Structure 1
């Protein structure tokens, strides 16, 4: 009887460990890119997406190993965050503290519910240059850290993509 319980316990432990290793090697949060907000070069938008199957909760953000002057989560109920997207006074965009809103998985977003349901997420930071972004978040009550090095394009606009 003890041998069966030991085998059962060990099997569950192996499955849980494999699941955690899988999650750590395939993190759910991704950065799609970033751009300047409302033409202000120090006001940056970092577009993020939850590729997981459950909601995730942001904890903190570091820009170039330092806390930014200000950081907000922007939820868009309409258009994606692109160059020239009007952020201020846009009725389809709401501003929140980083930890205030859970980020819904993109695969479950109803793209036909424009104006009614969150469609896109971005983090607004106040920083003159961004070379490295570190986002700490919780997914399934497990802490994760996403670190991305960003590199500017050679275009005239202030749009930037991931390396």
Structure 2
């Protein structure tokens, strides 16, 4: 009886440890592009996506290692990604506090294509972070939680 108990506990510890190691080597938040504005060097927009399998929560966004400037989470319910120009003109794109919406996992490619082809405005299709700073952002650090574990994503806006 004790032997089965220890084998079960050992198996659970190995599985949890493997999951932790996998998540640390394959973090779920990624970015697919950055918009730099020539008319305002202090403004950036970063399109982000959750490549994991459950929601993640944004905690903080640091600009050049400091918590400065205005940061907003953009959500798009249209086929307009959160990059480029025209974000404020599109009524299906809204900006919120970074902790107002969880970042849902991206669908597989077939589901995503089907969701994009439907012209519905109920579901969020794209996410982005917009930064208005007091200084030019060179490194943007996005801190978030996934499955209760803290993670961070560093975005170098200088490298092209």
Q: TM-score normalised by the shorter chain: which range applies?
A: 0.7 to 0.9
Larger deviation, residues 113-122 vs 33-42: 33-42
Which protein is richer in helix relative to its size?
A: 2
Paired residues in the alignment total 152
CA 29–72 in structure 1, closer or farther in 2 if over 3 Å, else same: same
Q: Distance in 2 between matches of 1:119 and 1:9?
A: 41
Q: Which runs of 5+ in 2 are unaligned?
A: none
Larger deviation, residues 111-120 vs 61-70: 111-120
What's 1:111 paired with? Answer: 116
SS in structure 2 opposite 1:106?
A: coil
CA contact (8 A) 1:45 1:122 kept: yes
What's 2:49 paired with? Answer: 49
- Which aligned runs of 4 or more in structure 1 are off by greater than 3 angstroms? 36-41
Q: Distance in 1 between matches of 2:125 and 2:5?
A: 47
1:150 to 133, 141, 157: 157
Q: Which runs of 5+ in 1 are unaligned?
A: 154-163
What's 1:160 paired with? Answer: none
Q: TM-score, normalised by structure 2?
A: 0.85
Q: Distance in 2 between matches of 1:75 and 1:39?
A: 23
Alignment of 1:140 with 2:140, yes or no, is no
CA contact (8 A) 1:133 1:147 kept: yes
Task: Note the C-alpha offset of 1:152.
Answer: 4.7
What's 1:125 paired with? Answer: 131
What's 1:27 paired with? Answer: 27
Cα distance per residue 1:34-88 (max 9 Å; x no partner): 11469543221111111111111111011110113110100012211343x2122
